Structure 1
Amino acid sequence: MIGMNLTKYQALLKTVELGSITRAAEAMGYTQSALSRAIAELEREWDLELLTRSRSGVALSSDGSVLLPAIRGLCNAAKMLEEQVAELHGMTQGTLRVGTFTSVSIHWLPGIMKVFLDRYPGIHFELVSSWEFAEIEDLIRRGEVDCGFLRVPAGEGLDTIPLRQDRLLAVLPPDHPLAHAPCYPIARFTQEPYIRISEERDMEISRIFQEEGVRPNLQYNVNDDFAILAMVEQGLGVSIMPELVLRDSNRRFSAILLDHPRFREIGLAVRSGKAPSPLTSHFLSCVQELVAQMDPDISPE
Structure 2
Amino acid sequence: MPIGPLLELRHLKMIRAIAEHGRVTDAAEALGVTPSALSHRIKEAERRLDVVLFTRMHKRLRMTPAADYLAETADRILSEMDRAEQDVRRMDRGVEHVVRIAVEAYSSYHWLPSFTNYLRAHLPGVDLQVMAGAGREPVQALTNRHVDLIVVSGETVPLGTNHIPLFRDPLVFIMPPNHRLAGKPFIEGSDIEGEDFITYTKTPEPDREFARLFRPSESYPRWTATVELPEAIVELVAAGQGTSVLADWAVRPAIEAGRIIGARVGQDGIEIPWQALMRSEDSNTGPITDVGKALATWSSISGGFS
Asked if TM exceeds 0.5, the reply is yes
Structure 2 distance, partners of 1:217, 1:159, is 37
Deviations 1:17-63 (A, max 9, x none): 966899999xxxx97459x97x8686675455657899999885421
- Aligned partner of 1:88 in structure 2 is none
**Structure 1 portions without partners, runs of 5+:** 86-90
Deviations 1:176-230 (A, max 9, x none): 354233322332122x513131434663332223552333131512314344334
SS of the residue corresponding to residue 129 of structure 1 reads helix
- CA 1:195–1:291 in structure 2 vs 1: closer, same or farther (change >3 Å)? same
Q: 1:220 aligned to 2:263?
A: no
In the TM superposition, residue 269 of structure 1 has moved relative to its aligned partner by 0.8
- CA 1:146–1:170 in structure 2 vs 1: closer, same or farther (change >3 Å)? same
Q: 1:176 aligned to 2:184?
A: no
Alignment coverage as a number of residue pairs: 288
- Aligned partner of 1:281 in structure 2 is 289
Q: For the Cα contact (< 8 Å) 1:166–1:263, is it kept in 2?
A: yes
Q: For the Cα contact (< 8 Å) 2:19–2:71, is it kept in 1?
A: no
- CA 1:165–1:46 in structure 2 vs 1: closer, same or farther (change >3 Å)? same
In the TM superposition, residue 252 of structure 1 has moved relative to its aligned partner by 2.0
Amino acid corresponding to residue 195 of structure 1 in structure 2: F
Please give the residue correspondences for 1:193-212 in structure 2 after superposition, counting only pairs within 5 Å: 193-200=195-202, 203=205, 204-212=208-216
Q: For the Cα contact (< 8 Å) 2:198–2:242, is it kept in 1?
A: no
Amino acid corresponding to residue 163 of structure 2 in structure 1: T
**Structure 2 portions without partners, runs of 5+:** 89-93
Which residue, out of 98, 101, 105, partners 1:98?
Answer: 101
TM-score, with length taken from structure 1: 0.68
Amino acid corresponding to residue 209 of structure 2 in structure 1: I
Deviations 1:233-271 (A, max 9, x none): 344443322112213225622112122300222211123
Deviations 1:81-105 (A, max 9, x none): 99xx9xxxxx943443333335355
- CA 1:187–1:13 in structure 2 vs 1: closer, same or farther (change >3 Å)? farther
SS of the residue corresponding to residue 175 of structure 1 reads coil
Deviations 1:110-163 (A, max 9, x none): 543454467126x4626152454xx21122233332221212223531322221
- Identity percentage of aligned residues: 15
Which residue, out of 208, 231, 249, partners 1:244?
Answer: 249
Please give the residue correspondences for 1:40-79 in structure 2 after superposition, counting only pairs within 5 Å: 46=49, 61-67=64-70
SS of the residue corresponding to residue 295 of structure 2 reads helix
Please give the residue correspondences for 1:1-301 in structure 2 after superposition, counting only pairs within 5 Å: 11=13, 15=17, 32-33=32-33, 46=49, 61-67=64-70, 92-101=95-104, 103=106, 105-113=108-116, 115-116=118-119, 119-120=124-125, 123=127, 125=129, 127-130=131-134, 132=136, 135-154=137-156, 156-157=158-159, 158-190=161-193, 192-200=194-202, 203=205, 204-223=208-227, 224-249=229-254, 252-258=259-265, 259-272=267-280, 275=283, 278-296=286-304
Structure 2 distance, partners of 1:22, 1:127, is 29
- CA 1:108–1:182 in structure 2 vs 1: closer, same or farther (change >3 Å)? same
Alpha-carbon RMSD: 4.9
Larger Rg: 2
Structure 1 distance, partners of 2:176, 2:5, is 59
Q: For the Cα contact (< 8 Å) 1:194–1:219, is it kept in 2?
A: yes
Structure 1 distance, partners of 2:183, 2:298, is 32
